[in-house]
Amino acid sequence: MNQASIETNVLTQKETIAYPQLPLAVYREISAHLQQVESVKTVLIPQSSTQFDYAQSQIEAVQIEYPVDLSSQEKQYLEAILEYYSQKYGKYQRQLDSTS
């Protein structure tokens, strides 16, 4: 069996992070920074509102996924990144999504 085709069952945690009215470019920057933490994956969630509002971001939130057994050092990096953007752009909303 090819090692690339072997899939491991790793329990992961998903969270949705939203910074109100944050521009698309900054969401992309946050996503890129979070992906620098080993084992962290991100997905940008498009705006779900059907009403156009120029002040509203094109992105509603960034979803992060990481192993439930993420090391304490990696967790610290993840929290430090989120805190950096919180200091720069204001408080964010954080929602625990699911464990898979």
Confidence of residue 31 (pLDDT cuts 50, 70, 90): very high
Asked whether residue 37 is assigned to any structural domain, the reply reads: yes
Please give the C-alpha separations between residue 28 and each of 3, 11, 72, 97, 99, in angstroms, as whole numbers: 32, 26, 25, 20, 24
Give the chain's domain count: 1
Q: What is the CATH number of the domain that holds 46?
A: 3.30.70.260
pLDDT in tens, 11-21: 999 999 998 87
Q: Which of 26-40, 43-57, 60-74 has the lowest mean pLDDT?
A: 43-57
Please give the C-alpha separations between residue 63 and each of 14, 16, 37, 93, in angstroms, as whole numbers: 7, 4, 14, 12
Asked whether residue 84 is assigned to any structural domain, the reply reads: yes
Asked whether residue 95 is assigned to any structural domain, the reply reads: yes
Asked whether residue 30 is assigned to any structural domain, the reply reads: yes
Closest CA to 34 of 10, 100, 99, 92: 92
Say which residue, 98 or 73, is predicted with more confidence: 73
Range of the domain at 85: 10-99
Asked whether residue 43 is assigned to any structural domain, the reply reads: yes
At residue 12, the pLDDT reads 92
Asked whether residue 50 is assigned to any structural domain, the reply reads: yes
Is residue 64 a contact partner of residue 40, using CB atoms and an 8 Å limit?
yes
Its pTM stands at: 0.81
